[in-house]
Amino acid sequence: MVVVADGKIAFSRDRIISATQASKNFGECRQRAKHEPLFVTDRNARVDTVIVDYDEFEAMALELERLRLERFYATAAERLAEVDENPHQATVPLSEVLGEEGYQDFLSLDADEISDEVLFA
């Protein structure tokens, strides 16, 4: 588990290893990383790599995706609420959303170029 305090990752010195140590003892590093992340330093003693257990990485990636979707849906809900409050002033022209070039590309599309089977597959 990674601890965050005051907007920064907090960890103890025993979880820091040099890149040289990591390369010479990679098997040991992998075993240690199953219990807690290891922070690998570069030649300037700055942490530049983290070795983390796959299950922990997967949990972080899933949580990040969940939070991204949550933020996306919250933003969409806010925008819909704004439109509901004042529908005439909340609309945005498609040309403004797509930009001039994108809008011209949109207008040049031929709806009959794509078959219904492909479109609704």
Sign of CA dihedral 99, 101, 104, 108: negative
Per-residue pLDDT of 3-35, as tens digits, reads 888 888 888 888 999 999 999 999 999 999 999
Q: Which domains, and CATH codes, for the chain? A: 3-52 (3.40.1620), 60-110 (no CATH)
Is residue 71 very low, low, confident or very high in pLDDT (cuts 50, 70, 90)?
very high
Phi, psi torsion values for 16, nearest 5 degrees: -105, 130
Q: What is the pLDDT of residue 40?
A: 96
